[in-house]
Amino acid sequence: MADDPICPLCGRPIPEGAKSSRHHLTPKLRGGARLGTVLLHRIRHSAIHARYSETEIARRFTDIEALKSDPGMQDFIEWVSTKPPAFHARTFRKLGRGRR
């Protein structure tokens, strides 16, 4: 619908009832508790945290443009753009990555 919020990562609407969540541009654990957030489709938000550690997010991805320009996220966004806007699937963490 025209009143649906737009996901800044993929540019697509977040329909009412679709899974969504707020992403802290600077992780809360890295001083971002009171800094900016953006509303994302939950699958996009999960993909960010599956691919990058809190430290990587804090150092390299504190804005949407940095996330969108990362080749791994570009591939994911391109793939998920072929799905309906309310699409959601379980996201698995990157293999071999340690705990945050």
For the chain, domain boundaries: 20-80
Q: What is the pLDDT along the chain (100 residues), one digit of tens a residue?
A: 568 999 999 999 999 989 999 999 988 888 778 888 999 999 999 999 999 989 999 999 999 999 999 998 999 889 988 988 888 887 766 644 444 4
Alpha carbons 53 and 43: distance in angstroms, whole number? 17
Residue 83 near residue 10 (C-beta atoms within 8 A): no
